Amino acid sequence: MTIVNSHNDWDPLEEIIIGVSDFWCVPNEEPGFKPPQRSGKRSDEHIDKAAIQMDNLERVLTSQCNVTVRRPEKIDFTQPAKTPFFSLAHQHGASCPRDTLLVIGNEIMETTMSRRARYFESMAYRKIMNDYFEKDKEMLWTMVPKPTMADAMYNVDFPWDINCQERKQWIRNYKYQINETEPLFDAAEVLRLGKDLIVQQSTTANKKGIEWLRRHVKSRGYRVHEIHFPDDLYPIHIDSTLAPLVPPTKERKGILVNCPERPIAKEDKERIFEGSNWEIIDAPPPNTMTVPDLCMSSAWLSMNMLLVGPDRAVVEETEIPTINFLESLGIKCIRVPYRDCYRFGGGLHCHTLDVRRRGECYNYFP
């Protein structure tokens, strides 16, 4: 039985993992992260509100879209953790399978993550991974080399103040709080376009991590392209910055939307996309620039939709400009309430991981 098979974000969806909000914590300060708000466990009220919306998403996908939904284990990430290299008073949470796990065809990779608080996060998916491994005889289960996350892996002089001039210079020079001591990447930095994987070097992926991925998939004919968005002063996870909406066909180019506040670097656009079958256009604006209190993401979670097929998407119900735009492209929108989940590290795309989509791996860059 084939369970794991996914090559892009738009083929018809058949099986998905949706995260959980339980035991979710804002991590403490560590070399790779400075919390923008008080750290510690999210309130039960916020956790429950998000759980209702995530459970509703599960219901919608199951009943309206005929998709099999799996959920991670509810591990108590409010617990401390200790390794030979660091110790933590508490951890993070398993709301975002997209951040941790990367599906490349029949392979699921547990990626390194880049912050200590997320070191053990993929354990929440161990039962699911085991189950897939037993039932799907072709499934490849990979763990990217576990980093030490020792102090030496971080640039302690990183300017955390997002508004200072120094910060701009660091980001424009593609320098972040993580350095190149060991390979690091979060799965959510990878945008999958069939044989081409677009990866953002960022606060959660370094060049060595991207190089690890390149060598790992090379023999299967994948190409890994590194990409930058120099105006993004907190580059983290590509899925609210660049997102595919429609694939290329013989008749027309495919469409990728780019957050207009974080345009793709000119040289990357030329190098990767010039002469290709892809058109890059500005993403429609969020309905409001106000995010729920304690949300750590930007309003551009409006771009963070889930395509359930080439002509159908699940979108947060208040993101009207996005909905209108998708419908103008002939993509029908299933509207779900999802704003309470924005406090849990992201939106509909972050909180899900498509495990199986009906389709093959194509070269969309001939």
Q: Which residues, numbered 232-291, are part of the site for ligand ARG (CB under 6 A)?
A: 236-237, 239-240
- Catalytic site residue from 340, 350, 351, 361: 350
Nearest CB to ligand ARG, comparing residues 129 and 295: 295
Q: What are the strands, taking DSSP E only, across the chain?
A: 13-18, 25-26, 40-41, 68-70, 81-82, 87-88, 101-104, 107-110, 140-143, 190-193, 196-200, 223-227, 242-246, 254-258, 278-282, 306-309, 312-316, 332-336, 352-357
Site for ligand ARG in 280-299 (CB under 6 A): 297-298
Residue 347 C-beta: closest distance to ligand ARG, Å: 7
Strand partners for 224: 197
β-strand pairing of 101-104 with 107-110: antiparallel
- 306 to 345: interface string for ligand ARG, x by CB under 6 A: ---------------------------------------x
Q: Which of residues 18-77 bind ligand ARG (CB under 6 A)?
A: none
346, 354, 357, 364: which one binds ligand ARG (CB under 6 A): 346
**CB 52 to ligand ARG: min, Å:** 20
Which CB atom, from 30 or from 121, has the smaller least distance to ligand ARG? 121
Residue 114 is a binding residue for ligand ARG (CB under 6 A): no
Footprint of ligand ARG on 87-106 (CB under 6 A):
96, 98-99
For CA atoms 289, 46, 42, 112, the dihedral sign is negative
Is residue 350 part of the annotated active site? The answer reads yes
The span from the CA of 339 to the CA of 337, in Å, is 6
Judge whether 105 and 111 are in contact, CB under 8 Å: no
From candidates 10, 77, 300, 325, binder to ligand ARG by CB under 6 A? 300
3-state secondary structure 33-82: ECCCCCCEECCHHHHHHHHHHHHHHHHHHHHHHCCEEECCCCCCCCCCEE
Q: Do the bridges between strand 68-70 and strand 101-104 make them parallel or antiparallel, or are there none, so unpaired? A: unpaired
Instruction: Figure out which of the listed residues 61, 75, 283, 350 binds ligand ARG, where binding follows CB under 6 A.
Output: 350
25 as an active site residue: the answer is no
Q: Which residues are catalytic?
A: 186, 237, 350
- What does the binding site for ligand ARG look like in residue numbers (CB under 6 A)? 96, 98-99, 188, 236-237, 239-240, 297-298, 300, 345-346, 350
